[in-house]
C-alpha cells in the first residue's frame, strides 16, 4: 500500500499544478486586458496600419485570446516562452534568452541572502528562547519589530544614504555583469543582500523563538530539567528537533519571498535580475516577457509553499490524519 506521506505529497502536487494552471489564466487575462495597443506602443505612433497589422500577424496578436492562451501554454510545456515584442524580422529575441541570465542573477542574490539570513535567524531565535525575558531577548524582539515595520524600499534608501553615500564603503548601484571579478561582484551585491536579510530575518527569528518556546512547555522538557540537563542541552537536543516543522515552514515561505519579492530591491539598486527585467518589460509593454516573469514568480512561490507543507507534514505525523 502507498504510504500516507506519499499520498499527501501527490495530493499537494496535484493542488499545486491546479493552482499554477489557475494562475496562468489570471496572468494571461490580466495582461490581455491592459489598455492601449501593444503594437502601436512598440512601433510608435508614426507606424502605418499595414505595418501594425503585419507586426500583429507575425507575433500572433491578431488571433483570439483563447487561441493565444493555449498556444502560450503549449509553448511553455515544450520549453518555449515565446518571442519578445521587441524583436525585429532580422533579429528575433526569444523570451527564454532574455530572462535566463537575469533569472540566474536573481537566484544568486536569493541564495546568498539565504546563506546569511537563515543560519543567523535560527541562531538568534535559539538565543532569544534560551535567554527568554532577559534584556537580550527584549532587545532582539524590539529590533525585529522595528525592521518588520520598515518597508524594504525605505530600508534600501537608508542603507544607500549611510553605507554608500556617507561612509562610501559600498557602491550605490548593483549593476553587475559577467566580466566582473568575484570581489567586485560580492561588493556590488552587498547592499541588496543586506536589505533582503534585514527584511526577512525578523520573521524567521521570531518564528524560531516562538516554536522553541512552545515546545519548552512540553512534559518531556520538564523531565529533562529534572534530570539536570543544562538549558542549552534542553533546547538543542530536545526542543529544537521537535520545533523543526514550523521553523522549516517559515524558512521555506521566506525563501519563496526572496525570489518573488525582489522586484523592489532590484529596481532600487538597478540589479540585473528577473524583477528588474519585469519592471522594464512593463514599461515597454513587452507582454510575453511580463507573462513569463509573472509565471516564474508564481511557480517559485507555489513550489516553495509545497515544500513547506511537505516538511511540516513529514516532521509532524499528526498532520497526515484528518481529525
pLDDT of 322 over the 70 cut: no
For residue 12, being part of any structural domain is answered with: no
Report the C-alpha gap between 317 and 305 in whole angstroms.
Answer: 18
The percentage of the chain sitting over the pLDDT mark of 90, rounded to a whole number, equals 0
**In-domain check, residue 49:** no
- Does residue 50 lie within any of the structural domains? no
- Residue 248 or 142, more confident: 142
What is the average pLDDT score of the chain? 78
In a domain, 84, yes or no: no
Residue in the block written with cell 521570531: 206
**Percent of the chain surpassing pLDDT 70:** 87
184-194 residue pLDDT tens: 778 888 888 88
- Of the given ranges (81-90, 92-101, 131-140, 231-240), which has the lowest mean pLDDT? 81-90
Q: pLDDT at position 323, please?
A: 52
Domain tally, the chain: 1
Q: What CATH number does the domain containing 199 carry?
A: 1.10.3720.10
Interval 135-154 mean pLDDT = 83
Residue 112 domain flag: yes
Query: 275 in a domain, yes or no?
Result: yes
- Residue 86 domain-assigned (yes or no): no
Q: Average pLDDT for residues 102-115, to the nearest whole number?
A: 85
Domain of 187 in residue numbering reads as 99-301
User: Has residue 169 got a pLDDT over 80?
Assistant: yes
Angle, in degrees to the nearest 10, between helices 152-159 and 182-215: 130
| Domain contains 256 | yes
Q: Read off the pLDDT of residues 229-249 as tens digits, 9 standing for 90 and up.
A: 777 777 777 777 777 777 777
Amino acid at each position: 500500500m502507498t504510504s500516507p506521506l506519499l499520498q499527501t505529497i501527490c495530493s499537494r502536487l496535484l493542488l499545486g499544478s491546479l493552482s499554477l494552471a489557475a494562475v496562468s489564466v489570471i496572468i494571461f487575462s490580466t495582461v490581455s486586458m491592459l489598455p492601449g495597443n501593444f503594437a502601436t506602443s512598440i512601433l510608435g505612433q508614426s507606424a502605418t496600419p499595414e505595418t501594425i497589422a503585419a507586426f500583429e500577424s507575425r507575433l500572433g496578436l491578431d488571433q483570439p485570446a483563447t487561441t493565444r492562451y493555449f498556444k502560450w501554454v503549449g509553448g511553455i510545456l515544450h520549453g518555449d516562452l515565446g518571442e519578445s515584442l521587441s524583436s525585429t524580422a532580422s533579429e528575433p529575441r526569444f523570451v527564454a534568452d532574455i530572462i535566463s541570465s537575469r533569472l540566474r542573477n536573481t537566484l544568486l542574490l536569493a541564495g546568498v541572502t539565504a546563506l546569511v539570513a537563515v543560519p543567523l535567524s535560527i541562531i538568534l531565535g535559539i538565543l532569544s528562547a534560551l535567554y527568554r525575558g532577559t534584556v537580550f531577548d527584549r532587545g532582539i524582539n524590539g529590533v525585529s519589530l522595528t525592521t518588520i515595520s520598515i518597508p524594504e524600499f525605505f530600508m534600501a534608501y537608508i542603507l544607500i544614504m549611510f553605507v554608500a553615500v556617507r561612509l562610501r564603503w559600498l557602491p550605490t548601484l548593483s549593476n553587475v555583469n559577467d566580466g566582473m571579478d568575484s570581489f567586485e561582484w560580492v561588493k556590488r551585491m552587498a547592499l541588496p543582500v543586506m536589505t533582503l536579510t534585514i527584511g526577512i530575518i525578523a520573521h524567521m527569528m521570531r518564528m524560531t523563538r516562538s516554536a522553541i518556546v512552545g515546545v519548552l512547555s512540553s512534559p518531556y522538557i520538564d523531565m529533562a530539567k529534572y534530570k539536570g540537563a543544562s538549558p542549552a542541552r534542553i533546547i538543542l537536543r530536545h526542543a529544537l528537533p521537535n520545533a523543526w516543522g514550523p521553523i522549516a515552514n517559515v524558512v521555506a515561505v521566506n525563501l519563496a519571498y526572496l525570489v518573488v519579492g525582489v522586484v523592489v530591491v532590484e529596481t532600487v539598486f538597478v540589479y540585473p535580475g528577473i524583477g528588474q527585467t519585469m519592471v522594464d518589460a512593463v514599461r515597454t509593454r513587452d507582454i510575453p516577457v511580463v507573462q513569463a516573469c509573472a509565471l516564474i514568480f508564481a511557480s517559485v512561490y507555489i513550489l516553495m509553499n509545497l515544500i513547506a507543507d511537505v516538511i511540516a507534514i513529514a516532521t509532524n505525523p499528526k498532520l497526515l490524519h484528518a481529525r
